[in-house]
Chain A
Amino acid sequence: MIEKKPIIFLLLATLTILVGTVITMVLPFRWINDPKLAIASVKPYTPLQLEGRDIYIREGCNNCHTQTVRPLLSDTERYGEYSKSGEFVYDQPFLWGSRRNGPDLARIGGKYPDAWHVKHMKDPRSMVPRSNMPSYDFLNRPLDTSLSEKKMKALKFPYTPADIQALQGKSEMDAIIAYMQKVGNDIPWRKTGKAEVLGELKNPFQGNMSVLPEGQKLYAEHCAQCHGIELKGEVGPDLRDLDQPDAKVFTSVYGGIAAGGMPSFGDTLGKERTWKVVTYLKSVHRK
C-alpha cells in the first residue's frame, strides 16, 4: 500500500500535479507568442520607456490598475479596443493586474497630453475630484540611469548609444509618462475604432437654458482640469467665445482631437450629456 511508502507516494503526488501543469501551463508556450500572431507595429520599449515601466513596477501601480481590456461592452466602450496577445510580447513581466481600484490602463497611451499626466501625478485630486490615488509628486527627481544599458541588453531590446545619452537630465516623471504614452498605443486603434456619429448633428438643447446648470456641472467634473474652471485655458486652450458651430464642438468633445491631445469623452458622457456640455460651452463669453 502506498500509504506505507513515502518516497513512492511523493513521486506519485508529483506526477499527479504535473499532469495539469504540463497541459495548461507548459503546452500553451507552443501557441502563445507564436511569431505568426505577431503584430508588426508593436515595438520593444525604448530605454526611457523601459525605465518608466520599471518605476511603474517599483511603485506597485499594478496593485490598483489593470492592463487588459476584455472583449466586453463595459470594457471596450470604457477603455477602447480589446487587448491582443501580440501586444504584450515585450512585457517581462506582464502587468495585467487583478483589481481595478483605479481604471484599466491598457489603452492609456495617447489618451491625455503629457501635461495632464504631470498635473495628475503631482496631485491626482486636482484632475479627478474624489480620486483615491496617492500623490506621486516625488517622481520629479533625476532618473537613475546607471542600469539602463544593462536592462536593454538583458531584454535584448535594440538601442543606440544616442538613446542612452538622451536619458541624461530626464526625471522619473519623464520616464513614467513616456511609458504610459506607449501603453496600448502600438496598434492604430484610435483611428480605426473611433466612434462614428450617425445622422444629422443637431443640438437638441439649442437655446434651452434649463440644461445649463447640468452642463456646467459636467464641465467642472470632466473638462475644468485642463481648460480651467472659468474656461480660461491651461493644459488645453481658452474656450470662451467659442466661435464654432455646435456640431463641430460636439464632434471635438465626443470624439476628441487626436492631434491636439484632446481626449474623447463620448464613452464617458454619451450623446445627451455631451450636447449639454456643448450648450454650456457655447453660453460662456468674456465679460
Chain B
Amino acid sequence: MNQQEGYADDIVKGFVIWSMVWGLVAVLVGVFISFQIAFPQLNFPPYLTYGRLRPIHTNAGIFGWGIGSFMAFFIYITQRLTRTSLWSPGLAKVQLWLFNVVIALAAVTLAMGMNRSKEYAELEWPVASLVVVLWVIFAVNIVMTIVKRREEQMYISLWYILATLVGVAVLYLVNNAAIPVSLTKSYSAYAGANDANVQWWYGHNAVAMVLTTPPLAIFYYFLPKATGVPIYSHRMGVVAFWSLIFMYLWTGAHHLLWTPVPDWVQTLAMGFSVMLIAPSWAAVFNGYFSMNGQWHQMRENYLVKFLIFGITFYGMQTLQGPSQAVRTFSAFIHYTDWVPGHVHMGTLGWVSLVLFAAIYYTVPRLYHTEVYSVPLANVHFWLVLTGQLIFSITMWIAGVQQAAMLNATNPDGSLHYSFIETMVELYPYWHMRALGGVIYLAGLLVFLYNIYQTIAGGKAQAAAQRA
C-alpha cells in the first residue's frame, strides 16, 4: 500500500536499520565502560581508555541511535501526516550515506583523541561541519515536504518535528563555534564561565530538542496508531508544545548551580526547570487519558506496553529532573552517580522504549509482513526494563550514599571521609550497574534478532509472491 502511494519508504528502512546498528554500538561501548569503572585493568591505553570511550558511547547513543531513528520516523511520519511523498528521495539517500559517514568518523576520531571536550559537542570542526550539512539536507527535505502537503491541518507531531529541526540547528551552530588550529584541533570560541554557560545552554537543550521533542512527535503519532483511538486532547497538546519550547531554553544553567556563572542565571534556570513540570506532565496525561477504556491493551498489545511505560518514565524523568535543578538538592547529589542514574532512565526508559515501539510498528508494515515473534518482543521488553531499573536504582542509591559520605563531618568541623574513602564504597554498585547493562544488552540482542527475522520473513514472502 505504501509504495503505491509513492512514499519514499526504502530510505526509512535504511535509517531504521542503521540506527539499530549504532544503537548496538552505543550499548556495547556503554557496557564495556561500565566494566572499566569497576575494573580499571580493562583500560587499554591509548585508544581504549574510559576517557576516550565515554564520548563514543554518548555520541553513538544520542546521535547514532537517537538521531538516526528520528530521521527514519520523521520521514515516515511526515509523508503520512501530509499525505505527500518525500520532497526529494535522492537527497534523503545522500543524507543516509552522510549520516553513516559522520557517525563512523565520529567514532574513529574520538578514539584517536580528537575531541573538543564539550559534552555531546565533542566532534572536531571538520566532522561537526559535516553534521551541519547533514542537518540542512534533512531539514530542507522535511520542511519542503510539509510545504507542498496535501493535508491542510498539521497534526501535533509535525509541530514537534519542525521545532526539532530549527532548535537543533541553532544550538549546534552556536556551541560548535571554534577557532581552528589544524584539521584535527580547534579551541572553543568562548572562554571560561561564558563557555560553560553556552555549553550547558546547548547540553540541556540537546535533551529538549533531541531527547524530548522527537520522541514526543513519535509518541503522539504511534500511540493512536497502536491503540486505534485518538489522542485525548489536541488542545492540551498545543498548550504543552508552546510552553515546553518556550521554557526549556531558560534552564541550561541548572547544570552549573554553585559554579562561577552569575547567580541570576542559575536562579532563572532553577525556576524554569520547576515550571517545566507542567508541560511535561501535560504530555504524560495526554498519553494516560488516551488510554481511557483502553487499559486492557496493556495486557494484549505489546506496542502499547512499550509506549505507556515510555511515557511513564518520561513523567518520572520530568519530576526528578526539576528536583535536581533545585540548588539545595543539586548541592547534595550533583557530580555523583545519581546523575547517570537519572540520565539513563530518560535514554533507556523513555526514548528507547518509544523507539522500540515505533520500530515494531513500522518494520512489519514496511516489509508487508507480521512481526516475527510477539513473545520475543515481550522477552525484550522485560529484559530492557529490568536492566534499566537495576542501572538507575543502583546509581541513585550510590549517589545518595556518596553524597552523604562527602558531607559527613567530625565534631571538630573537619570532614569525616577523604574522597577516595567515599569512592571505594561505590565498587559494589558499579558491579550491579554493569550487570544491569548486560541484562539490557541481552534484551537489545533479542530485539535485533526479532527485527532481523521479521525483515527476512518479509523478504522471503515478497520473493515467493514474485515467483
Contacts and interface: CB of A to CB of B under 8 A. Distances in A.
Q: Say if A and B assemble together.
A: yes
B268 interface: yes
B250 A24 contact: yes
A271 B256 CA distance: 33
Interface residues of A, number: 85
B201 A25 contact: yes
Interface in B130-181: 143, 146-147, 149, 152-154, 158-159, 162-163, 165-167, 170, 174, 179-181
A134 B423 CA distance: 15
A85 B149 CA distance: 51
A104 B259 CA distance: 13
Contacts of B378: none
Given A98-B119, A101-B37, A132-B37, A70 B43 contact: no
A238 B185 CA distance: 45
Contact of B51 (A60, A138, A147): A60
Interface in B196-212: 196-199, 201
Contact of B414 (A62, A71, A267): A267
Interface in A1-60: 3-4, 6-7, 9-10, 13-14, 16-21, 23-25, 28-29, 31-33, 54, 57-60
Interface of B: 36-40, 43, 45-46, 49-52, 54-55, 113-119, 143, 146-147, 149, 152-154, 158-159, 162-163, 165-167, 170, 174, 179-182, 185, 187-199, 201, 242, 245-253, 255-256, 258-262, 265, 268-269, 272, 331, 335-336, 339-340, 406-407, 409-410, 412, 414-416, 418-420, 423-424, 427
Given A6-B147, A32-B262, A17 B117 contact: no
Nearest 5 pairs of A and B residues by beta carbon: A60-B51, A88-B192, A20-B249, A270-B414, A134-B43
Contacts of B166: 10, 13-14, 17
A15 to B, nearest CB: 10
Contact of A88 (B115, B147, B260): B260
Given A32-B197, A63-B50, A94-B196, A24 B258 contact: no
A64 B115 contact: no
Contacts, number: 266
A136 B51 CA distance: 11
Contacts of A125: 40
6 contacts: A62-B117, A66-B335, A85-B260, A88-B260, A99-B335, A100-B419
B197 A25 contact: yes
A16 to B, nearest CB: 5
A192 interface: no
A134 B259 contact: no
B265 A4 contact: no
Contact of B268 (A23, A57, A92, A94): A23
B30 to A, nearest CB: 13
A41 B204 CA distance: 34
Interface in A68-104: 68, 70-74, 77-78, 83-85, 87-96, 98-104
